[in-house]
Structure 1
Amino acid sequence: MQRLNRISEELKKEISRIIMNELKDPRISAMCSIVSVETTPDLKYAKVYVSIFGNNEEKENTLKGLKNASGFIRKKLGDAIKIRYLPEIHFALDESIEHGARIAQILNEINKKEEGE
């Protein structure tokens, strides 16, 4: 289990580095960050959760660009990380940050209403 966590963290760092420094796709937003990586126990698949700041169109374009570049990213990962099986990468949108911001906004509105009464 600990080995799996270490591999997931290493994948997260390397994928972030590759997206920032080596990808040249104009669809991929500069406001894109890797939130977490979940790797299956057999190391065949890795689900990469991505947080993208922007409107829905920017999010869709960035996700398409990342999915399109997953083969390139996997190849670069193979050069950087030496493990027997390199997982197949699947990107998923992580909206927990926006969800948390929305909850904070609602709580602030409730506090303002209570103070006004």
Structure 2
Amino acid sequence: MAKSRSHEGTGPSQRQLRVGELIRRRLSEVLSRGEVHDPELNALSITVGEVRTSPDLKTATAYVLPLGGEHRDEALAVLNRNRSEIRRSVTKGLALKYAPDIRFVLDETFDRMDETRRMLSQANVRRDLD
């Protein structure tokens, strides 16, 4: 009989977090070393902020951002165009049962941090905080 998990739905498991971090590191290496044979991709400097995996580890969502945050749509298009070669290069260096399908999403964490800083610097908010 299967064990019931009372903490289900509370977030990713330790295994998901561990595999996500392994994929993030390997993906960063692949992109920084120019292991994909696309001059347009190799000309970009892309930061991989986080990789989240599905519970079955068959899908990995990579949160990426080009250096300086410029040309986001173009960078995403280039990554998606080379998705299968990136997948092969990333999983070649990892001991996983399945090669996860990698999806690329723009990392908007920095935008949200900037917006939060802007809001906290407003005079009426600072007055309320004091």
TM-score range, shorter chain: 0.7 to 0.9
Report how far residue 33 of structure 1 moved. 0.8
Say which SS state the counterpart of residue 40 (structure 2) adopts.
coil
Bigger RCO (CA 8 Å, 6+ sep) = 1
The runs of at least 4 aligned residues of structure 1 exceeding 6 Å deviation read: none
Larger-gyration structure (1/2): 2
Counterpart mapping for 1:61-80 below 5 A: 61-80=74-93
Quote how far apart the aligned CAs of 1:70 are.
1.2
Residues 96 and 81 (structure 1), Cα distance of their counterparts in 2 relative to 1, 3 Å cut: same
Unaligned runs of 5+ in 2: 1-12
Q: Deviations over 1:6-33 (max 9, x none)?
A: 1111000000111111244425632x21
Report SS of the residue matched to 2:31. helix
Normalising by structure 2, what TM-score?
0.74
Give me the whole-angstrom Cα distance separating, in 1, the residues matched to 2:62 and 2:81: 14
Match of 1:12 in 2: 24
% identical aligned pairs:
25
RMSD (CA atoms): 2.2
Residue-pair matches, total:
111
Could you give the per-residue CA deviations for residues 42-81 of structure 1, whole angstroms, max 9, x where no partner exists? 12111111123333xx000101111111111111122200
| Residue type at the aligned position of 1:45 | T
**Greater share of residues in helix:** 1
